Structure 1
Amino acid sequence: MSLMLKLLATTALLSSLLAAADSSYERVEEFLEKSFSNNQNIKSINIKVTNKIAVKERSGWSAYFVELDAILKKDNRQVVQKMIWFSDGKVITKELFDLESGKDMGDFVSLPFKNEYYNKANLVCGNENAKHKVVIFSDPLCPFCRQFVPEAIEYMKKEPNKFAVYYYHLPLESLHPSAVELIKAAIALELKGAKDVVLNLYKVNVDPKEKSNEVILKEFNKVMNSNITMADLISSEVLKHFQNDLKVADALMVNGTPTVFLDGTVDKTKMKYKEAK
């Protein structure tokens, strides 16, 4: 549970159905702002609904993508958090489950991958005008990613006019702290013009908890046959690319890897690219 949700746990409205007069953006914002304002730990708060998407599995229900921006009383610290709320126009709730299957409806809604997010610098294979656009958010030290990503890219790489594959780095820093520097090294090498860096990145064997940048770089350079240095990792170009990838993930509320989008829509199965016409 995040810090903000812990602070708001005293508000019973967070975990139960809440009466709401209207499901419009404005009324949802007003209702949530009033509810959260009751928390004594919060000095000020602003609620903004950034998007609304119908829950296909539940007729009449919509998912509201909400951004919470609060100032805490204790130390005037700002806390920004994104979350999803559900409403059918009569009630609003933080969680929505199917009684029969137990499925969380939050798993069936996601923000679309907008055209503005497709960055040519993230195109790892295929023609940018290809029939299908596939986006992969991944951490090279994520065990599932290490199995899935190389196979998926190799598969789609064979048909460049069918697939344009865009790759976005998303290190799960709390689980794999060494992924951060490993990714920066990969970006630095790509900026130097090297090819197939992403594919080879999954061949680098380093302890996910490794804290020594020297050790990380040694293993990286050995696999890549490169000479990336510490100075390369802190260059403005590398940091800009790295931060841009994180910003796109944050805008889409992507926090797990691998996350796959096919033609702008998240693919929970991660395998629909094999069914693409």
Structure 2
Amino acid sequence: MSLMSKLLMSTVLASVTLSANAQPDNKQLVKYVKRSVVKNPQVKVKGVTVLESKTDERLPGWTILLTTMDLEYQKKEIHAPEMMFVKDGLVTGHLVNLKTGNDYRDEIKPSVPQSYYDDAHLLFGKKDAEHKILIFSDPQCPFCQEVVPAIFKVSKENPAKIAVYYYHLPLLRIHPVSDVLTRVMHVAQHEGKTDVVEKIYSLKIDPRETDMSKILAAVKSHTGYSVTAAQVDAKEVKAAMQADEMASSKLMVTGTPTIYIDGEWDKMRDGYKKLIK
């Protein structure tokens, strides 16, 4: 069980002291998190940052707070996403539709800031394309390998219609090899070699491999692209990876591939097909 699984276990309504239509202030949110969300006494709750406040027509009267919990565990800072539903002095982390069994927590995502569509993350297509697809992905994720290359293909074939903005989200606990692979992809894209990014999705390699020399050799053999350890280990490359991770946290992205089309979460990951009909 992951640390987040141990911490995030809010399943009941909690009461907060506020007037009927008011939203809880930061102190109240921190109190709620300490009491009802964070279960590990070794984890300190330093604060709660509200990223976005929104409503949903399916939940009349409820305000949805998309937040980041600022935590400290074993002297390490953790910024964990958390969703809260607030109404009439009550707050909960889960609202379940009794007819469908669906938890609205799994149905709602933050809005994509316009700043996410920047030149540094534009991988394929034209920046003034009719549609923008935003992707968070790990090249070793089996689901990503099924979906993401197909999106690359339609964007390359329809550059004026579809632009792909790509963010790295390596799932290091599952495939540590992605630490190096994603950095190689970043360097290749920065050099304008977007074909390398695409080819790495078909690279066959032990997902537990951590020997950089072996990984770089495998990349060269598969793609023809040669890159040095110094390039991959550069400070600016690592900073870019951290920035992508922070971007995913602000959008409360926890899995791959997570895809947005024109700012809207594409839950089924096949919305791109409708754009080329």
Range into which the TM-score falls when normalised by the shorter chain: 0.7 to 0.9
Q: CA deviation at 1:254?
A: 0.9
Q: CA deviation at 1:31?
A: 2.7
Conserved in 1, the CA contact under 8 Å of 2:135 and 2:165? yes
Q: Output the CA distance in 2 between the equivalents of 1:161 and 1:114.
A: 22
Aligned residues: 271
Which residue is 1:55 aligned to? 56
Q: CA deviation at 1:103?
A: 0.6
Q: Which runs of 4+ in 1 moved over 4 A?
A: 22-26, 36-44, 75-79
Note the alpha carbon deviations across 1:217-266, whole angstroms, 9 max, x for none.
11111112122121111113322332222221121111111111111121
Aligned AA for 1:242? M
Note the alpha carbon deviations across 1:154-177, whole angstroms, 9 max, x for none.
022211111111111110111111
Q: CA deviation at 1:6?
A: 3.8
Which residue is 1:248 aligned to? 247
SS at match of 1:63: strand
Conserved in 2, the CA contact under 8 Å of 1:261 and 1:267? yes
Aligned AA for 1:194? K
Give the TM-score taking structure 2 as reference length.
Answer: 0.87
Note the alpha carbon deviations across 1:178-228, whole angstroms, 9 max, x for none.
011011112222233323222111121111111222221111111121221
Which residue is 2:14 aligned to? 18
SS at match of 2:85: strand
Q: CA deviation at 1:126?
A: 0.9
What is the percentage of aligned positions where both structures have the same residue?
Answer: 31
Which residue is 2:67 aligned to? 66
CA RMSD in angstroms comes to 2.5
Conserved in 2, the CA contact under 8 Å of 1:22 and 1:89? yes
Distance 1:201 1:101, change over 3 A: same
Q: Output the CA distance in 1 between the equivalents of 2:79 and 2:118.
A: 26
Q: Identify which range, 15-24 or 110-119, moves more after superposition.
A: 15-24
Q: CA deviation at 1:68?
A: 2.3
Alignment of 1:107 onto 2:106: yes
Q: Output the CA distance in 1 between the equivalents of 2:20 and 2:115.
A: 28
SS at match of 2:46: strand
Unmatched runs of 5 consecutive residues or more in structure 1? none
Alignment of 1:27 onto 2:36: no
Q: CA deviation at 1:123?
A: 1.1
Conserved in 1, the CA contact under 8 Å of 2:188 and 2:197? no
SS at match of 1:202: helix
Aligned AA for 1:240? A
Q: Output the CA distance in 2 between the equivalents of 1:195 and 1:4.
A: 34
SS at match of 2:160: coil
Q: Identify which range, 183-192 or 160-169, moves more after superposition.
A: 183-192
Note the alpha carbon deviations across 1:42-62, whole angstroms, 9 max, x for none.
666323322112234322223
Give the TM-score taking structure 1 as reference length.
Answer: 0.87
